Amino acid sequence: MQTLTILGSTGSIGTSTLDVVARHPERFQVFALTAYRQVELLFKQCVQFQPKFAVLLDELAVLELRCRVREAGLNTEVLSGVDALEQVCIASEVDAVMAAIVGAAGLRPTLAAAQAGKKILLANKETLVMAGNVFMDAVRASGSALLPIDSEHNAIFQALPHGYNGDKNAHGVRKILLTASGGPFRDTPLSELQHVSPDQACAHPNWVMGRKISVDSASMMNKGLEVIEAHWLFNASADDIQVVVHPQSVIHSLVEYVDGSVIAQLGNPDMRTPIAYGLAYPERIDSGVAPLDLFKVAQMNFVAPDFVRFPCLALAYQALRAAGTAPAVLNAANEIAVAAFLDKHIAFLDIAKIIDAVLNQLAVLPVTCLNDVLHADADARQAATAQIARMKK
């Protein structure tokens, strides 16, 4: 029996995780569920999975959930705040943590889980983007098992040799090929991108995701963050990671070897596949995902990414090469810019302009500890907010 804490249980990754867990009650037990403020869904999850703890970050939501849990007679203790997120990650009863909180908010509890030596199912890109060296040092020091849940990184993990330790030459690895759907604006005329709406940006052709990550997919910043994540997960340089636009989202990523072989992982675009793989690793279990019908797919296309259409992807490569605090600045500026776009304060194309301006404004500093990351994050948010204010005048 594996005991789980699920950070971000009401999001798309969290609900998919619970779907897989529900299929295997003999294998998995839920210790804690967490969310920001979605009381209704979190309460339903508490009723179904009976966790020992539920954590919310919004204080009013905490009071409401406590009342509902008490009225329902559940033995679930409702906690609040980031400290509580860390508490339910490092508890001795916890075997594994699904890190699925979107954005920088997931950094502290995920790092705490790594320091505590927990098995980490990593679906939070920002942990590695912001603090890759700090996080990976914690994983190595504690002996924590780290399993990537992003469909692309999970595919790479499956396509790499068993026991891959980051030494590409020793394992005959030449290159990592990171696939991207191209999002909803892959074929939209450039002249129309300035006027696209948040709803259009969130209408992903293949995946069902939250609004922030959907906008990141539309701008291809999501793929840029994944490039940085792949660097830390697989010890690959920016030159060793190639993005390939694959509109069908059937091949989730590939690994190219020095002998000319290219190994890919294929499957229907459903996050329950990598989640099930991570939960049960090294075994495989039923995820509830239908088998891939190659005859129905019929054909697959591959094109190089257009860095003019998707400047956010170019900015991510730029930040990875700059290293230090640059990726944390990139991520923070993007979060502020995407929030402003979703609130209709800026245009879609302004997202990249704001990120570029902030990267040019702030000096790149070395990262030796978490505080270095948090200071860079705060400075970038302040600088991005100021850029948006100037645009609105």
DSSP, res 153: H
* Model confidence pLDDT, tens digit, residues 108-139: 899 999 999 999 999 988 889 988 999 999 99
Per the structure block, which two tokens stand in for 291? 């088998």
* pLDDT score at 105: 77
User: What does pTM read for this prediction?
Assistant: 0.90
**Considering the chain, what percentage of its residues have pLDDT values greater than 90?**
72
* pLDDT score at 393: 62
* Distance from the first to the final alpha carbon of the chain: 58
Rounded CA-CA distance 55/316 in Å is 33
On the question of pLDDT at 1 being above 80, the answer is yes
Rounded CA-CA distance 7/301 in Å is 35
* pLDDT score at 149: 95
Dump the DSSP string for 179-226: EE---TTSSS-GGGGGG--HHHHT--SS----HHHHHHHHHTHHHHHH
* pLDDT score at 209: 63
Work out the average pLDDT over 21-25: 96
Work out the average pLDDT over 342-352: 90
* Model confidence pLDDT, tens digit, residues 241-278: 999 999 888 999 999 999 999 999 999 989 999 999 99
On the question of pLDDT at 103 being above 80, the answer is no
User: If pLDDT is split at 50, 70 and 90, which confidence band does 206 have?
Assistant: low
On the question of pLDDT at 208 being above 70, the answer is no
**Tokens 């992903």 -> residue:** 204
User: If pLDDT is split at 50, 70 and 90, which confidence band does 204 have?
Assistant: low
* pLDDT score at 198: 79
* pLDDT score at 315: 97
The burial class, CB within 10 Å (0-12 / 13-18 / 19+), for 374 is middle
Rounded CA-CA distance 140/209 in Å is 31
User: If pLDDT is split at 50, 70 and 90, which confidence band does 196 have?
Assistant: confident
* Model confidence pLDDT, tens digit, residues 218-245: 899 999 999 999 999 999 999 999 999 9
* pLDDT score at 207: 58
Rounded CA-CA distance 184/194 in Å is 14
Mean model confidence pLDDT for the chain: 91
Work out the average pLDDT over 62-80: 91
| Domains recognised in the chain with CATH numbers | 2-148 (3.40.50.720), 156-297 (no CATH), 323-392 (1.10.1740.10)
Identity of the amino acid at 280: A
Per the structure block, which two tokens stand in for 364? 């790149």
On the question of pLDDT at 392 being above 80, the answer is no
Where is average pLDDT lowest: 37-46, 121-130, 190-199, 316-325? 190-199
Rounded CA-CA distance 170/16 in Å is 36
* pLDDT score at 8: 94
Where is average pLDDT lowest: 93-107, 190-204, 278-292, 359-373? 190-204
